């Protein structure tokens, strides 16, 4: 949905018709002023302290946005939508299932600081053409790439921390803490005990060997 405010130039609708229409006669691509776009969200609203459904702004930047219509099949079945968007309070966080499809952002006409840029026919046409032919990465593809990169960085940082922790705290194979909180090296103790046995000359025939405590005759 959109609310009253700044409308896109009249040439935008005619220019974008060539990229097709959805089953309801609307252009697949459209240009909107970001602050005008609103969507329904469900859940707890801190400003009024209650749980409910209500409309709120979809985009934060104040700029022109190129949106693309997606059919409902892109969001799975109504049951899947509910399973993915239902919050702990039983509200659908992203509103009802979009059975008529939904427009999603695919390009922001803005500077890196999100300040708006003026739009011109050539800019709008070439942007829509690039997206239509797959030569411009879609918003969700960029988002997924960023999330993947951040996850990889977090995993690498976690491994580096664990490696540093193991090297400095002795929590690794063969090393542990005693009941008194002292670091003890199990591998070193085993090696020292082995050398002590060899030095003492204590030996036993192979056929008489009993594993575990049975060797001491306690079992």
This prediction has a pTM of 0.58
Please state the φ and ψ torsions of residue 159, each to the nearest 5 degrees. Answer: -65, -40
Question: Residue 153: inside a domain, yes or no?
Answer: no
Question: Residue 142: inside a domain, yes or no?
Answer: no
Boundaries of domain holding 103 = 11-136
Query: Tell me, what's the pLDDT at 89?
Result: 83
Distances (CA, A) of 53 to 40, 59, 164, 193: 7, 18, 48, 71
DSSP class of residue 110 equals B
Question: Residue 219: inside a domain, yes or no?
Answer: no
- Residue 187 scores a pLDDT above 80: no
Distances (CA, A) of 162 to 173, 190, 203: 14, 26, 43
Domain count, the chain: 2
Find, among 65, 139, 153, 144, the residue nearest to 108 by Cα. Answer: 65
Query: Tell me, what's the pLDDT at 142?
Result: 53
Question: Residue 214: inside a domain, yes or no?
Answer: no
Question: Residue 148: inside a domain, yes or no?
Answer: no
Question: Residue 217: inside a domain, yes or no?
Answer: no
Residues 25 and 76 in one domain: yes
Question: Residue 26: inside a domain, yes or no?
Answer: yes
- Contact call for residues 42 and 7 (beta carbons, < 8 A): no
Find, among 128, 139, 6, 104, the residue nearest to 62 by Cα. Answer: 6
Least confident of 2-11, 46-55, 133-142: 133-142
DSSP H or E stretch at residue 32? strand 29-33
Residues 69 and 111 in one domain: yes
Question: Residue 163: inside a domain, yes or no?
Answer: no
- How far apart (Å, rounded) are the C-alpha atoms in residues 157 and 99? 42
Residues 132 and 174 in one domain: no
Residues 26 and 125 in one domain: yes
């Amino acid at each position: 949905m959109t609310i009253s405010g700044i409308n896109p130039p009249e040439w935008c609708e005619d220019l974008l018709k060539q990229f097709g229409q959805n089953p309801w006669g609307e252009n697949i691509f459209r240009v909107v002023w970001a602050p005008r776009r609103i969507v329904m969200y469900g859940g707890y609203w801190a400003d009024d302290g209650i749980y409910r459904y209500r409309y709120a702004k979809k985009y934060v930047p104040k700029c022109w946005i190129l949106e693309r219509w997606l059919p409902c099949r892109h969001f799975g079945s109504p049951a899947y939508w509910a399973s993915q968007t239902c919050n702990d309070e039983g509200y659908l966080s992203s509103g009802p299932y979009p059975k008529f499809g939904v427009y999603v952002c695919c390009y922001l006409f803005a500077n890196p600081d999100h300040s708006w840029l003026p739009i011109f026919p050539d800019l709008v046409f070439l942007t829509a053409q690039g997206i239509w032919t797959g030569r411009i990465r879609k918003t969700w593809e960029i988002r997924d790439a960023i999330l993947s990169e951040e996850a990889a960085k977090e995993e690498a940082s976690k491994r580096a921390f664990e490696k540093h922790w193991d090297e400095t705290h002795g929590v690794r194979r063969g090393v542990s803490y005693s009941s008194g909180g002292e670091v003890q090296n199990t591998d070193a103790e085993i090696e020292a005990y082995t050398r002590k046995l060899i030095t003492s000359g204590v030996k036993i025939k192979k056929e008489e060997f009993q594993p575990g405590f049975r060797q001491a005759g306690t079992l």
